[in-house]
Amino acid sequence: MKLIIAIIQDEYVNKVIRTLMDNKIRTTRLSSTGGFLKSGNTTLLIGTEEEEIDHITELIGEQTKIKKIKEGKEEIIVGGANLFVVDIHDHIRL
């Protein structure tokens, strides 16, 4: 079993959650604040089997976009989502 930790920009999170729910993928939503731009984001915890990771990644990718933000004289590229996939030793539903 795997755990996907998906950090989603707030402007995309409702579309991502709706898409996951439409595909019967359970998720836990946590509010969070991100990095140096201090922009709002949401962290999703998604427990899944390894063979579903590519499908879930595609679903999230279809609903998010990379964008460029001007920070002073610099242009910064910000992703719509950052995903971390970690191994889960055990899963217990009570």
- Which CATH architecture fits 2-87? 2-Layer Sandwich (3.30)
Kindly write down the DSSP assignment for every residue of 25-57, as one continuous string: ---EEEEEE-TTT--EEEEEEEEE-GGGHHHHH
10-47 confidence digits (pLDDT tens): 889 999 999 999 999 999 999 887 665 567 789 999 99
Reply yes or no on whether the pLDDT at 8 is more than 70. yes
Per domain, the residue ranges of the chain are 2-87
DSSP one-letter code for 18: H
* Number of CB atoms found within 10 A of residue 66's CB: 9
H or E segment and range at residue 15? helix 10-22
pLDDT tens digits, 37-94: 567 789 999 999 999 999 999 999 999 988 887 778 888 777 789 999 999 998 888 9
**3-state SS, residue 22:** helix
